[in-house]
């Protein structure tokens, strides 16, 4: 499975995925890193692993159509079969979603369908979770559809929230489980064990 990773930030999930592929957990190759942010730490990780990179910023493209076409051209130029959003903060153009239907996954730092949607990213998520008083949070791997954070859920793992947890301490707990479940979800895709029916997905053993 040829994977292109999209990341806007430090890239710790990208790093975790690279590590598990290198350990032989599943057969896949990261063929490309795409980022909208030229300062993304993910670029450094890609360089260390000799992975080609592409900086695609919407600012350079006059229309969403031109932007989507460029993205599709770069993706197919690297023989992309699967797309992993690992902390990518921009909306994926619908043309790209259509072309890679059921082959784009994202990781969200909460238990969807709660605490998701437009504007729910990074510390905003953990602040909202703590403020709500819920007792568990976690990470969700889901398929990407045209609607933010609403695609079929592939895998989730919970963490307990302690009385004295802060958004920062919760973020650290959740990040740890993100690094566990993201590679496992990708392994299931690489091995053809993910079944999707409507908004429901399940993994066969």
> Can you tell me which residue has the tokens 């350990």?
23
Q: How many chain residues bind ligand GRF (CB under 6 A)?
A: 13
Catalytic residue, from 55, 78, 79, 108: name it: 108
Q: Does 142 bind ligand GRF (CB under 6 A)?
A: no
Query: Least distance in Å: CB of 194 to ligand GRF?
Result: 19
For residues 64-85, one letter each, b for 16 or more C-beta atoms within 10 angstroms of the residue's C-beta and e for the rest, the string is eeebbebbbebbeebebbbbbb
Count Cβ atoms below 10 Å from residue 204 Cβ, excluding itself: 9
Query: Least distance in Å: CB of 42 to ligand GRF?
Result: 7
Of the candidates 87, 151, 152, 183, which one interacts with ligand GRF according to CB under 6 A? Answer: 87
Q: Does 10 bind ligand GRF (CB under 6 A)?
A: yes
CA geometry: angle at 109 spanning 180 and 144, to 5°? 90
User: Alpha-carbon distance 48 to 66, whole Å?
Assistant: 31
Of the candidates 33, 107, 181, 188, which one interacts with ligand GRF according to CB under 6 A? Answer: 107
Query: Least distance in Å: CB of 30 to ligand GRF?
Result: 14
User: Would you call 108 a catalytic residue per the annotation?
Assistant: yes
Between 9 and 93, CB nearer to ligand GRF: 9
Of the candidates 1, 5, 11, 144, which one interacts with ligand GRF according to CB under 6 A? Answer: 11
Query: Least distance in Å: CB of 161 to ligand GRF?
Result: 16
Which of 37, 42, 53 lies closest to 12 in space, CA to CA?
42
Q: Does 151 bind ligand GRF (CB under 6 A)?
A: no
Considering only residues 164 through 193, tell me which ones interact with ligand GRF, judged by CB under 6 A. 175, 178
Cβ atoms 1, 189 nearer than 8 A:
yes
Cβ atoms 186, 30 nearer than 8 A:
no
Cβ atoms 153, 140 nearer than 8 A:
yes
Strand partners, 159: 137
Could you give the residue numbers annotated as active site?
108
**Interacting residue ranges for ligand GRF, rule: CB under 6 A:** 7, 9-13, 86-87, 107-109, 175, 178
């Amino acid at each position: 499975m040829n994977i292109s990773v999209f990341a806007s930030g430090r890239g710790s999930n990208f790093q975790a995925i690279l590590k598990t592929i290198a350990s032989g957990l599943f057969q896949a190759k990261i063929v490309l890193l795409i980022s909208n942010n030229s300062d993304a730490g993910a670029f450094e990780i890609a360089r260390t692993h000799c992975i080609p990179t592409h900086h695609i910023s919407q600012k350079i493209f006059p229309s969403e159509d031109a932007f989507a076409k460029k993205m599709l051209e770069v993706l197919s130029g690297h023989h992309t079969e699967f797309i992993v959003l690992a902390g990518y903060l921009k909306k994926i153009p619908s043309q790209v979603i259509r072309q890679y239907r059921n082959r784009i996954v994202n990781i969200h730092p909460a238990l969807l369908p709660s605490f998701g949607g437009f504007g729910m990213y990074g510390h905003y998520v953990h602040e909202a979770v703590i403020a709500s008083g819920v007792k568990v949070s976690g990470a969700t791997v889901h398929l990407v559809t045209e609607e933010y954070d609403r695609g079929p859920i592939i895998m989730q793992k919970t963490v307990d929230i302690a009385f004295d947890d802060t958004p920062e301490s919760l973020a650290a707990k959740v990040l740890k489980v993100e690094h566990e479940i993201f590679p496992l979800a990708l392994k299931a895709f690489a091995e053809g064990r993910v079944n999707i029916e409507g908004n429901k997905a399940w993994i066969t053993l």
